[in-house]
Structure 1
Amino acid sequence: MNGDGTTPRISNGRFGPDWPGRRCLAKTRAGYQCQKPALKGKARCQLHGGRAGAPTGARNGNYRTGRYTAEAVQVAREARTRLKELVVLGRRAGIWT
């Protein structure tokens, strides 16, 4: 580190501070901007998540049953909401205490 608060110079690296290409937008642990180039069409390098993003559904290698898919979670949420409404109606009618 230079000691002046600027990005440290990389003496033998080809992607130093004067490289004109598009850089990764991540910050390093030291608080400086990453010096690696961003991947094509991405804002991050491969070390900072530029290659992240698995396919959804059955195309994903970890897909098993579909129990926790977005659709299943939404259906369960709607069922819980409907059940709560029925409980409130039952209490108003004096069926449930």
Structure 2
Amino acid sequence: MWIWFSGGVGMIKTSSEAKYVVNRKGEKFLVEIRRTPDGKTFVVVEKLRKHVYEKEGEELVWEQNVEDAEEVEYEKLPQEVRAAFSSATKR
């Protein structure tokens, strides 16, 4: 997977270390731990959404595939991941 960073940094090739589905305050998030070839670690947080759309008169539903993600409670995430998650989801 390639991760795009805004601010002119560019794209970085990463591999997946772990995937979690986290339910926090009634919302579900996909949390991925990704690592670059030189050993840098990134936490990627995505809010899970269900998209309903119409195509050729038929209503279709699209949801992100999270079959390979482990469902965990927020408190069970590693401390560094919780800190990154909280920072990413501040309102």
Q: Same fold (TM over 0.5)?
A: no
- Which is richer in strand? 2
Higher-Rg member (1/2): 1
Instruction: Give the TM-score category using the shorter length.
Output: under 0.3
Higher helix share: 1
TM-score (norm 1): 0.19
TM-score when scaled to structure 2?
Answer: 0.20
